[in-house]
Chains A and B, each alone.
Chain A
């Protein structure tokens, strides 16, 4: 440790004011504080501070994301060999996925961090840790076939427009990772919706569509449900037959974005987030309640097969679980008040299912629902704060009467 620290101290003057690389001071500092908790002491206020800091908070989200990342890698390989009709060993499947997914992660981190470093330098503040999580989320919520240049463009867009224009981490209104996905889906619809893209690949599975075995559709369960429902003359049970079984969807051996398919491992991540206190259980639960509630409501009035789909299906299909646990709980873009979180989460669940079932143009509703509620979270908070103010004003009255 001493030697490493001496090394850091030795090169430090080069980056400080007057040094050769003073423009890169913030970048240097980011690496320095990554390696060492600095010897800075409190000067005012509380003399001791909790051991928890931003780095550790973000790091725990990364830990919680690891299971879905690893599973996602394996599933990418598994889906590929399945589409091609080939048998492959577990490690081959995993390695295939690793080779496909790792570049996404690297590109996402590299492009996003460059923007972060530039803005930190211009604004002369410390590099914030927020992107550590966003950079991992982005590759997990896009199809594995997304071209790398698109990942870079989307990430840069999301970090600049979604975050830095508002003042950086902690000031953003929208969840940056979701914004990157939304950008991709609206800017390159030909590539990222439907079942094939112009390159002739399946969208969700890394395999050329014309070489795939016939039985392989490459569609996500949500897309299948939407198509079947739009076709009209199928019953709900026929529709469910065309989809993967609930068990498969729960385990996650289905096509979909890299990290979203396995509800089981998302649950494991949720346990980690809730146990460490990093993720908000309030939000997670209320999203689930909102989704189930709307699903059941549709079951009651069912006029088409999609509405008859068991409500719990919504929880295991598509990005519902992933969005609930990792995206809706982003503390900055979510509601920041205690009771506001219930409303915020519940409405995300409601809107997600609403979009899925009612809007035929867009099979997945999670992303739009969260972004929509991100925009409304400040409004929810406003009313919660107003309620607090009113309560305080009311308190004033009885006391005034007493003393009168």
Chain B
């Protein structure tokens, strides 16, 4: 095993409401949904019509610009309703669930005995392909590419992140099976990055057919983009794929049992959760399944439900559905109350990287942070703080500026291929000018993709 890669720059934001390691299985909800908006740049075309019976694994829609990529139903039931937003954009494809799941049979097989084409075919058919994403651009991988390498992060470092050792527990074999399948898809290596101390599960430490790496340090050490940068950076023309541990497990189950078993373990946490825990649910679950009677009720505060983590998750309504790639639901208070001289008075309930608040004197303290943006947007003024939370050989401010002026050449030279919006979540968090960097990065990636399409 290679030496430990020590990430020195970064920031762990100490939030209240970490989850206990208790796994519960809530009862099924009536409605499940697949949200085409979870897949960046997707233009969905429906394959089913209202009232159709579907099984778990029945394709619901496909990508207009890449027809082989289909998106399957996570449950068996009846396709009920399409929820549309502005410009008739499809937001949710809702399925009314049956009490029991009925699966489409794709046939069990040992991935090692299959050819690359057969593995790919199985993933595409079963609607599992979209779990594989690529860099550059951070979008669903293209099935005709052969990636240079495939990267998987076996730990998360985001605020209140789920413990992947706990999540993988009992699913070790499926995980290994999934790794075997992924190994068939690349001529390069499958890289699995672990935390040097916290990762102990044999599913990771004794994984076969992969190259193991060990990382330590603050967030974003667990971000796959940072890991790729330190293991084998992406250069122009390279394509690498990446996916989450739970998605590897789902792929493993496909080959073990021949079905799309969409169950995953989701952690519910955050300062507004009464009993933060882990739940075994199906992908596309309505979050009321496990938030009911578990959210702090106060007269003055409304909770915000975030599918994913607080840095790059998505805001969803209290009766919304969990995002396709998310294994976490975070609930924090909205910060919609004005605060008298809030910028001046150094209250102890505020957390800051700067030493102008007292949080640096209390490293043990956990915070109940809210969603207040704290200031209007300003131009860049303060320099040198973004580098401190982006452990890559990339100049964040210069890159962001090149995106702002849409200078394709500069973006390319400054390393846009290596980044995804989530890598700029911390620079965005610390920015005193409150510049929306993740949005800017996404715009930059979009214009690069368009340029080379």
Pair A39/B336 contact, Cβ less than 8 Å:
yes
A20 on interface, CB distance cutoff 8 Å: no
* A385-B311 contact given A41-B336, A50-B351, A170-B378, CB 8 Å threshold: no
CB within 8 Å of B: which A258-309 residues:
275-278, 280, 282
Which one, A128, A278, A336, A337, contacts B356 given CB within 8 A?
Answer: A278
Pair B381/A331 contact, Cβ less than 8 Å:
yes
Chain B residues within 8 Å of A168, by CB: 379
B259 on interface, CB distance cutoff 8 Å: no
Which one, A1, A47, A55, A336, contacts B340 given CB within 8 A?
Answer: A1
Contact sample, A vs B, 26 pairs, CB 8 Å cutoff: A33-B375, A41-B372, A42-B372, A44-B439, A45-B437, A45-B438, A48-B311, A50-B351, A51-B350, A51-B352, A52-B356, A54-B432, A56-B354, A57-B381, A170-B381, A170-B433, A276-B356, A278-B354, A280-B383, A282-B384, A331-B382, A336-B398, A338-B387, A385-B414, A392-B393, A396-B236
CA–CA, A108 and B219, complex, Å: 44
Closest to A130 in B: B381
Chain A residues within 8 Å of B89, by CB: none
Q: Which of B18-26, B57-65, B199-207, B422-430 contacts A (4 or more CB under 8 A)?
A: B422-430
Pair A46/B432 contact, Cβ less than 8 Å:
no
CA–CA, A332 and B351, complex, Å: 25
A53 on interface, CB distance cutoff 8 Å: yes
Chain B residues within 8 Å of A395, by CB: 233, 235
Chain B residues within 8 Å of A129, by CB: 378
* A399-B354 contact given A33-B376, A47-B313, A336-B397, CB 8 Å threshold: no
* A48-B356 contact given A126-B376, A331-B382, CB 8 Å threshold: no
B68 on interface, CB distance cutoff 8 Å: no
Pair A5/B395 contact, Cβ less than 8 Å:
no
CB within 8 Å of A: which B345-387 residues:
350-357, 359, 369-385, 387
Chain B nearest CB, measured from A173 CB (Å): 13
Chain A residues within 8 Å of B382, by CB: 57, 331
* A36-B439 contact given A49-B374, A50-B430, A392-B415, CB 8 Å threshold: no
Which one, A46, A167, A336, A341, contacts B429 given CB within 8 A?
Answer: A46
Question: Besides A40-B372, A393-B413, 9 other CB < 8 A contacts?
Answer: A41-B370, A45-B312, A48-B371, A54-B381, A56-B354, A60-B356, A128-B379, A331-B383, A385-B395
Which one, A46, A54, A282, A391, contacts B375 given CB within 8 A?
Answer: A54
Pair B332/A52 contact, Cβ less than 8 Å:
no
Pair A50/B353 contact, Cβ less than 8 Å:
yes
Chain A residues within 8 Å of B357, by CB: 51-52
Chain A residues within 8 Å of B334, by CB: 41
CA–CA, A391 and B339, complex, Å: 46
Chain A nearest CB, measured from B244 CB (Å): 20
Chain A residues within 8 Å of B376, by CB: 33, 40, 126
Pair A392/B413 contact, Cβ less than 8 Å:
yes
CA–CA, A171 and B341, complex, Å: 27
What is the number of residues of chain B that contact chain A, defined by CB distance less than 8 Å? 74
CA–CA, A167 and B404, complex, Å: 15
Pair B433/A54 contact, Cβ less than 8 Å:
yes
A169 on interface, CB distance cutoff 8 Å: yes
* A37-B374 contact given A56-B356, A277-B354, A392-B393, CB 8 Å threshold: yes
Chain B residues within 8 Å of A52, by CB: 352-354, 356-357, 430, 432
CA–CA, A5 and B336, complex, Å: 14
- Chain A 365-404 interface 0/1 with B at a Cβ cutoff of 8 Å (1 = within): 0000000000000000100010011011101100110010
Chain B nearest CB, measured from A379 CB (Å): 14
Pair A53/B374 contact, Cβ less than 8 Å:
yes
Pair A37/B342 contact, Cβ less than 8 Å:
yes
Chain B residues within 8 Å of A277, by CB: 354-356, 385
Chain A residues within 8 Å of B330, by CB: 47
In this complex, the member of B369, B380, B382, B413 whose beta carbon has the largest number of chain A beta carbons within 10 angstroms is: B382
Chain A residues within 8 Å of B310, by CB: 46-48
7 closest A-B pairs by beta carbon, nearest first, are A170-B379, A37-B342, A53-B375, A51-B350, A45-B438, A36-B338, A55-B343
Chain B nearest CB, measured from A12 CB (Å): 12
In this complex, the member of B343, B385, B438 whose beta carbon has the largest number of chain A beta carbons within 10 angstroms is: B343
Chain A residues within 8 Å of B304, by CB: 41, 47
Chain B residues within 8 Å of A10, by CB: none
Pair B354/A48 contact, Cβ less than 8 Å:
no
Chain B residues within 8 Å of A331, by CB: 381-384
Closest to B436 in A: A45
Pair A391/B379 contact, Cβ less than 8 Å:
no
B450 on interface, CB distance cutoff 8 Å: no
B239 on interface, CB distance cutoff 8 Å: no
A17 on interface, CB distance cutoff 8 Å: no
In this complex, the member of A49, A275, A341, A389 whose beta carbon has the largest number of chain B beta carbons within 10 angstroms is: A49
Chain A nearest CB, measured from B422 CB (Å): 10
A35 on interface, CB distance cutoff 8 Å: yes
B13 on interface, CB distance cutoff 8 Å: yes
The range of chain A's interface size is 35 or more
Closest to A334 in B: B383
CA–CA, A181 and B13, complex, Å: 43
A4 on interface, CB distance cutoff 8 Å: yes
CA–CA, A16 and B107, complex, Å: 65
CA–CA, A197 and B176, complex, Å: 86
* A169-B381 contact given A47-B311, A53-B432, A385-B395, CB 8 Å threshold: yes
In this complex, the member of A46, A49, A126 whose beta carbon has the largest number of chain B beta carbons within 10 angstroms is: A46
B10 on interface, CB distance cutoff 8 Å: no
B306 on interface, CB distance cutoff 8 Å: yes
B344 on interface, CB distance cutoff 8 Å: yes
Chain B residues within 8 Å of A336, by CB: 383-384, 397-398
Chain A nearest CB, measured from B212 CB (Å): 19
Chain B residues within 8 Å of A396, by CB: 235-236
- Chain B 375-413 interface 0/1 with A at a Cβ cutoff of 8 Å (1 = within): 111111111110100000111011000000000000001
Pair B356/A332 contact, Cβ less than 8 Å:
no
Closest to B371 in A: A41
Pair A50/B352 contact, Cβ less than 8 Å:
yes
Chain B nearest CB, measured from A356 CB (Å): 29
A59 on interface, CB distance cutoff 8 Å: yes
B218 on interface, CB distance cutoff 8 Å: no
Closest to A168 in B: B379
Which one, B13, B353, B370, B379, contacts A169 given CB within 8 A?
Answer: B379
Chain A residues within 8 Å of B353, by CB: 50, 52
Chain A residues within 8 Å of B335, by CB: 39, 41
B448 on interface, CB distance cutoff 8 Å: no
Pair A50/B431 contact, Cβ less than 8 Å:
yes
Chain B nearest CB, measured from A47 CB (Å): 5
CA–CA, A7 and B415, complex, Å: 50
In this complex, the member of B354, B393, B428 whose beta carbon has the largest number of chain A beta carbons within 10 angstroms is: B354
Chain B nearest CB, measured from A394 CB (Å): 11
Chain A nearest CB, measured from B101 CB (Å): 33
Chain A nearest CB, measured from B16 CB (Å): 12
* A40-B343 contact given A51-B357, A52-B432, A280-B384, CB 8 Å threshold: no
CA–CA, A371 and B380, complex, Å: 20
Which one, B371, B375, B393, contacts A55 given CB within 8 A?
Answer: B375
Closest to A53 in B: B375
Closest to B233 in A: A395
CA–CA, A277 and B382, complex, Å: 10
Pair B343/A37 contact, Cβ less than 8 Å:
yes
